[in-house]
A and B are shown apart, each in its own frame.
Chain A
């Protein structure tokens, strides 16, 4: 397979070198841990522990509520201090379980026991993934077991491991592919067991030669597997672009990868599937990169959920003096946090720390849109961001829908490229929910008139 490219995209500075050679290291928290009940797409989970309960590592502390929801497990052993609302990373007070770590890390019963997954039925595998609370670790947090239950399983032809890691600065997936390629491959084999006729593709950007070599070595001898090399470009890891890379088919915003015969999962998610199914270990920790020019020690950690960001990057010793901005995630799609007293959860793959706030600098250079069209050229989905932004600024939501604004994935590419420094992505984040609401109103009106 050649090196895949797509139309559009940008080249933000990568600075992956800050943390690329730092091996994954387990980070042991010392203080209290906070587990928000909503760490995934869907309905928040329901706490099943109460104050002063004793919990062990891997023990269920909140159970899924409904179909699109996910279990949450404790990452430490200790005592429940409280079940109360706490600030989550989106700046919202969310019901959270607070646990005081006893630093013993006593495993719950059965956790870590090996199971021969080849003897399991499809239903048993899916139930194990569901019970382990595995969600998409690429950042969306969509419950993984749902993806494993397409309406037409016989039509699934591709299992895609997304190892593109196109966000600047983040290296935890890269390290995972280098250090534990067998976990990813085993995870894919488990998924292949659900879809026996499918082929497995591992997609990696070419700026990770060590990961490519490592994955190629791990899949050697199994002709169901292949590695797809992607051109270094942001947003190469976007699902629709990835599905196109693998299948050559275009995926519309209204469809899911499964309709084109694809199951797309992040490499870390696949490793989590392996642990859940073969090792009976629920999802309670993940890889996380600490990077940016404001990080005193860029590193890749295995972080236990619930750990406060301030433990990993304390003001003294973790952050360089004068650090202006801390992001959960990478610089293109990550979220800025007002302070570091925020628990890390399933969807967080990085802590990016900056001495300079580029957005602040850019705001000083804001001008009217000069209609240069750069946003249109770089949009990976072929949208017209300038027209979308104009529609929202004029509060014309119908126009926003007409220019296909609802297709926007808010990857930030247009915003990055804009010389006039217009806050495009911010406008889309504001406008999209309003436009979707309008869309629903229009539809119910249509149905009402029938």
Chain B
């Protein structure tokens, strides 16, 4: 063989051409897409925001570098994913948070959610959101303190929820209170960049937005209210999540149909958390839960190879047709079984609930009546249409515009003496701000404003602490007092009628009860006597 003319050439498997796009390029595109919102955030919130961003990125990169070093793994910093994680985390932090917050958050996200699971591509949830969830749980107060310029202010969404008007234009541009990545305008610009460069595809942003809007209409109780829907879309982290976090390639499903399902799930969870939940943060947990569903979703859509369903046969003598594998469903059996169990269990619960609903309502009615009779002894309890109408006007919004915390007036009844005259009133009132949620009680009030006593119908506070409020000795502090409003005395040793000694070690419970009684008194003076 005449090998003297030829030199050895490179050999490799086909294809011999490669798309110029690399993983680093994908990450770079994401960073470029985040530039507008980052610049806006720094301009809007000032230099400290820049420090937060730098600290977060630096911490993410250092963590990954150190892990690679210690674990003797090849250095993977150049792929750019740590930069994206750090930047994304910083963008959903309050602008004035102390610098240890982004540093710890990034380190946790990179180390626990990513490195421990095998690095890029192996993490089962978005590292930035894992870091944020860690921070929310660990530093709840810092994470929800959105004050800046030394002015504490509430976020537009909080205003919206308490029924105040918000400025949609300012929310869209980002001239509001919130996390650093607040500008919806800039997020949309960045999102369009990602779509144009084919870094993300349209399915997740579109599906999540549509499903978010639909479920908000269904669950918010406001119906189709464009103003409310627009404010929900512009508020919080939904948009940043829809374009930049839910679309994180590693933790989203890979298939077209899977991404639609995933997007719908994210929109649905966001709507549920926003309308039904009490957490300040909805995006983080909505995306994390959707991330956890990704492996299942990825197996669900049945792939449709070209031509499946058409019967094929060998038509040439002597040629055996390639035996195509049986086209079996990709949904794992365990998923079907689990779903069946869930459906059966859920159905069973629903049936029990339906069968016992009347009994439960009857029991609750009896408990309420008993409470009324406790506070208005020897009187005949009757309802009054005028009073009921007064109560109903506060049914949606709660009573007192926050002056008593989140308090609802449930019912107001009249107690009649033997001759049929109104001898007292009982007001059922709930405070939502107990240590463990709702505390409901009946407050008995004589026509002259003297409190006859209180009786709890719902109280599930901490045993040995908050539950001590249910002791007669503590409740007796309200008995037979005629005051404008009660006042909580945390120190104890009260001397005046207004003052109520706090239950030792349970000032939140005590405060909620005092607020509820004050709300009842306020209602009595303004709507029962006056009305």
Residues of A contacting B483 with CB < 8 Å?
A: none
CA distance A31 to B303 in the complex (A): 53
**B13 pairs with A327, CB closer than 8 A:** no
Residues of B contacting A338 with CB < 8 Å?
A: 8-9, 11
Q: Which of B21-29, B89-97, B159-167 contacts A (4 or more CB under 8 A)?
A: B21-29
Closest chain A residue to B314, Cβ basis? A256
**What 1/0 mask marks residues of chain B from 365 to 408 whose CB sits below 8 Å from any chain A CB?**
00000000000000000000000000000000000000000000
Interface residues of B in 284-314 (CB under 8 A from A): 298, 303-314
- Give chain B nearest CB distance to A379 CB in angstroms: 9
CA distance A341 to B2 in the complex (A): 7
A106: Cβ under 8 A from any B Cβ:
no
**A382 pairs with B24, CB closer than 8 A:** no
**B254 pairs with A386, CB closer than 8 A:** yes
**Cross-chain contact of A255 among B1, B249, B305, B307 (Cβ < 8 A):** B307
Residues of B contacting A365 with CB < 8 Å?
A: 22-24
**What 1/0 mask marks residues of chain A from 301 to 342 whose CB sits below 8 Å from any chain B CB?**
000000000100011100000011111000111111111110
B158: Cβ under 8 A from any A Cβ:
no
A contacts with B: majority SS: loop
B352: Cβ under 8 A from any A Cβ:
no
A407: Cβ under 8 A from any B Cβ:
yes
Interface residues of A in 399-422 (CB under 8 A from B): 401-404, 406-407, 410, 412-413, 415-421
**B9 pairs with A339, CB closer than 8 A:** yes
Interface hub of B13, B81, B309, B310 (most chain A Cβ within 10 A): B13
**B26 pairs with A401, CB closer than 8 A:** no
- Give chain A nearest CB distance to B90 CB in angstroms: 21
Interface residues of A in 121-143 (CB under 8 A from B): none
Interface residues on B, range: 35 or more
Residues of A contacting B419 with CB < 8 Å?
A: none
**B330 pairs with A341, CB closer than 8 A:** no
Residues of B contacting A354 with CB < 8 Å?
A: 16
Residues of A contacting B16 with CB < 8 Å?
A: 325, 327, 331-332, 334, 336, 352, 354, 357-359
**What 1/0 mask marks residues of chain A from 56 to 73 whose CB sits below 8 Å from any chain B CB?**
000000000001100000
B321: Cβ under 8 A from any A Cβ:
yes
**A359 pairs with B18, CB closer than 8 A:** yes
**A421 pairs with B22, CB closer than 8 A:** yes
Residues of A contacting B253 with CB < 8 Å?
A: 373
CA distance A13 to B18 in the complex (A): 10
A168: Cβ under 8 A from any B Cβ:
yes
Residues of B contacting A419 with CB < 8 Å?
A: 19, 21-23, 25-26
CA distance A389 to B47 in the complex (A): 47
A3: Cβ under 8 A from any B Cβ:
no
**B5 pairs with A314, CB closer than 8 A:** yes
CA distance A386 to B298 in the complex (A): 11
- Give chain A nearest CB distance to B205 CB in angstroms: 15
**A253 pairs with B249, CB closer than 8 A:** no
CA distance A66 to B141 in the complex (A): 82
Closest chain B residue to A353, Cβ basis? B9
Residues of B contacting A381 with CB < 8 Å?
A: 305-306
**Cross-chain contact of A339 among B8, B12, B22, B328 (Cβ < 8 A):** B8
Closest chain B residue to A383, Cβ basis? B305
B100: Cβ under 8 A from any A Cβ:
no
B168: Cβ under 8 A from any A Cβ:
no
**A149 pairs with B1, CB closer than 8 A:** no
Interface size on A, residues (CB 8 A): 97
CA distance A418 to B2 in the complex (A): 39
CA distance A384 to B330 in the complex (A): 12
Residues of A contacting B18 with CB < 8 Å?
A: 358-359, 361-362, 415-416, 418, 421
- Give chain A nearest CB distance to B472 CB in angstroms: 63
A395: Cβ under 8 A from any B Cβ:
no
Interface residues of B in 135-182 (CB under 8 A from A): none
B256: Cβ under 8 A from any A Cβ:
yes
In the complex with contacts A253-B324, A337-B11, A341-B1, A382-B317 CB distance below 8 A: no
A222: Cβ under 8 A from any B Cβ:
no
In the complex with contacts A149-B317, A341-B6, A254-B305 CB distance below 8 A: no
**B10 pairs with A336, CB closer than 8 A:** yes
B222: Cβ under 8 A from any A Cβ:
no
Residues of A contacting B5 with CB < 8 Å?
A: 310, 314-316, 340-341
B531: Cβ under 8 A from any A Cβ:
no
CA distance A413 to B311 in the complex (A): 26
**A372 pairs with B317, CB closer than 8 A:** no
Question: Could you give 24 example pairs across A and B, Cβ below 8 Å?
Answer: A12-B19, A146-B318, A150-B316, A251-B306, A252-B306, A253-B306, A254-B324, A255-B311, A256-B319, A258-B316, A260-B310, A315-B6, A331-B16, A332-B15, A332-B16, A336-B11, A336-B14, A360-B10, A368-B122, A373-B201, A416-B17, A419-B23, A426-B13, A440-B323
| A interface residue numbers (CB < 8 A to B) | 10, 12-13, 31, 67-68, 86-87, 146-147, 149-152, 168, 240-241, 244, 249-256, 258-260, 310, 314-316, 323-327, 331-341, 352, 354, 357-362, 365, 367-373, 376-377, 380-384, 386-387, 401-404, 406-407, 410, 412-413, 415-421, 423, 425-426, 429, 439-440, 443
9 further A-B contacts with Cβ under 8 Å, apart from A68-B319, A314-B5, A315-B5, are A146-B319, A151-B316, A151-B317, A315-B7, A376-B255, A383-B305, A407-B306, A415-B15, A426-B12
| 9 closest A-B pairs by CB | A255-B312, A412-B15, A250-B307, A368-B121, A373-B254, A426-B13, A254-B324, A339-B6, A252-B307
